């Protein structure tokens, strides 16, 4: 058991929601931070607000219009999702986790929090460079050095695939919350409910979530 409060980067998606409930079993108190970076779909924020209110959790909100000004990503602009020549899809927002973790560390410093939780993992289908374990270790060291303050970044899903993440949510007893109240669909569909949750069922995020759910159920059977 860690003695203090944890600050979780909370997007309302499956991974960060699972991390939130993991953190609640590890830390005596959990606060969350949501970043408004002009993302395409408000439903992410709606999911965050609903769960934060349900859990009576303090929610910090920070605004980052610069990513919209930079542009060029399908997470913000109304453009089709596709893979680029380097294999990284255009849903990748360059520098997003660098900025998110820097601002989270600044907020943690102000609130005398040492532990930050983030839902990144190496098995993410896209291979985003800012989701890898090497990046997390590096930025933890840089933030601690730059702030002169001990920052510990926890990435409990780091070595997991989506089936493992579904297993964790089941073990935590929150699969129903993940299915009914988290949101991961890149196209913002929160009207079509599947056994694995809301989504269009065709975007890369939905396909990954669906495949992980089906794999977990087959292993559990």
Evaluate whether 174 touches 4 at the Cβ level (below 8 Å): no
Q: What is the mean pLDDT of the chain?
A: 88
Across 2-29, b (16+ Cβ under 10 Å) vs e yields eeebbbbbbbbbbbbbbbbbbbbeebee
Examine the pLDDT at 78 and tell me if it is beyond 80.
no
Q: What is the CATH number of domain 5-160?
A: 3.40.50.620
Q: Which residues is 8 bridged to in the sheet?
A: 32, 117
Binned at pLDDT 50, 70 and 90, residue 128 comes out as confident
Please check the confidence at residue 118 and state whether its pLDDT lies above 90: yes
* Burial grade of 117 (CB within 10 A; 0-12, 13-18, 19 or more): buried
């Amino acid at each position: 058991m860690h003695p203090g409060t944890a600050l979780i980067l909370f997007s309302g998606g499956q991974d960060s929601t699972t991390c939130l409930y993991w953190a609640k079993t590890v830390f005596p108190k959990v606060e969350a931070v949501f970043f408004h970076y002009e993302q395409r779909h408000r439903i992410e924020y709606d999911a965050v607000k609903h769960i934060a209110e349900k859990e009576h959790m303090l929610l910090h909100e920070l605004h980052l219009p610069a990513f919209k000004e930079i542009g060029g990503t399908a997470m913000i602009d109304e453009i089709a999702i596709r893979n680029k020549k380097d294999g990284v899809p255009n849903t990748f927002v360059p520098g997003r986790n660098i900025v998110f973790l820097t601002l989270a560390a600044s907020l943690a410093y102000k609130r005398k929090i040492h532990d930050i939780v983030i839902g990144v993992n190496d098995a993410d289908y896209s291979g985003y460079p800012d989701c890898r374990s090497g990046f997390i270790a590096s930025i933890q060291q840089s933030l601690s050095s730059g702030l002169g303050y001990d920052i510990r970044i926890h990435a409990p899903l780091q070595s997991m695939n989506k089936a493992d993440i579904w297993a964790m949510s089941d073990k935590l007893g929150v699969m129903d919350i993940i299915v009914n109240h988290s949101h991961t669909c890149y196209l913002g569909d929160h009207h079509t409910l599947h056994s694995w949750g809301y989504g269009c069922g065709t975007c890369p995020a939905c396909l990954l979530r669906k495949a992980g759910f089906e794999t977990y159920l087959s292993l559990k059977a």
